Amino acid sequence: METKEDLINDMSRKFFRIINKHGRLESLPFHFDEGIEMTHRELHVIQAVGERKRINITELGSHFGVTKSAASQMVTKLVKKDFIEKKPAAHSNKELQLTLTQRGWKAFRIHEKFHGQHMSDVVDRLSAFSLSQIATASVLLEVLENAVDERLEARGWR
């Protein structure tokens, strides 16, 4: 018979296995038209910028749970590829707002279509579960995220 601790350990192993697999997915190339290749990670940055009217690099880093430096590096790559542009914020001389270029909006729309298909599949798979079960899973994921956040803070990486 499995104990509560055995089930928690099993759930933790599955969670970290999913994280590792998702990390691999994020770095896989996505072939865009005109011979352009982007990673899913880059497309997710484009999605985050496109979904918000105003977002800066600090907020982008917070959105993805990465450092400001990591977010800045990704933005710099996307500026060079002409998907994102930095503009001075209306309310601050020091702050830069991120916006999508025409090319960025094109990538955004392509990713929206792809993401919609993927999410539809996920919703279909999870629809067999009750609202209560899904809510419990959400709380469990939040607890795991908080534990990871605490480990990062303890190492000064937050």
Intervals of the chain under pLDDT 50: none
CA distances from 85 to 45, 77, 94, 116 (A): 12, 11, 16, 25
Query: Tell me, what's the pLDDT at 75?
Result: 95
CA distance 72 to 78: 10
Query: Tell me, what's the pLDDT at 7?
Result: 92
Task: Note the pLDDT tens digit of each residue in 16-45.
Answer: 899 899 888 878 887 766 677 888 889 989
- What is the second-level CATH architecture of the domain 28-127? Orthogonal Bundle (1.10)
